[in-house]
Amino acid sequence: MLSLSERERRILSRVADELHRTAPTLVSLLSMFNRLALGEDMPRRRPLRHLRRQLSRPVLARAFVSVWTATTLAMIALALILSHVSHGTSASGGCGRSWSAICDARAAGPPAQ
């Protein structure tokens, strides 16, 4: 049988009270599960130290740098694509046909006030 400390029992009691108050359907499903699993042994509790060793600082640092690099490259690529599409530039560097009115207005300068 699984033995819980007093602190763990208090926390579970608070969680149960909150569930009864906010999610009665979930409570009924959990009670059905408890009845079905009544005679089974609980699995061994495993400490989290093993997981902490797997997620060591060098591994996390490498993952962070990889994600940062990928995000930066994606943002640069997106900026280049949007810049190319939004300005309507063609391969020759001039204005495309659909943007000729905008390009003409830009060449004329700001409107007089």
Q: Which has more pLDDT, 34 or 109?
A: 34
Whether residue 88 contacts residue 95, with contact meaning beta carbons closer than 8 Å, is answered with yes
Number of independent structural domains in the chain: 1
What is the average pLDDT across 100-109? 58
Query: How do residues 32-64 score in pLDDT, each as one tens digit?
Result: 888 888 888 877 776 666 666 666 677 778 888
Asked if residue 32 belongs to a domain, the reply is yes
Query: How do residues 22-33 score in pLDDT, each as one tens digit?
Result: 998 988 898 888
Whether the model pTM is above 0.95: no
Q: Which domain holds residue 8?
A: 1-40
C-alpha to C-alpha distance for 111 and 31, rounded to whole angstroms: 73
Asked if residue 71 belongs to a domain, the reply is no
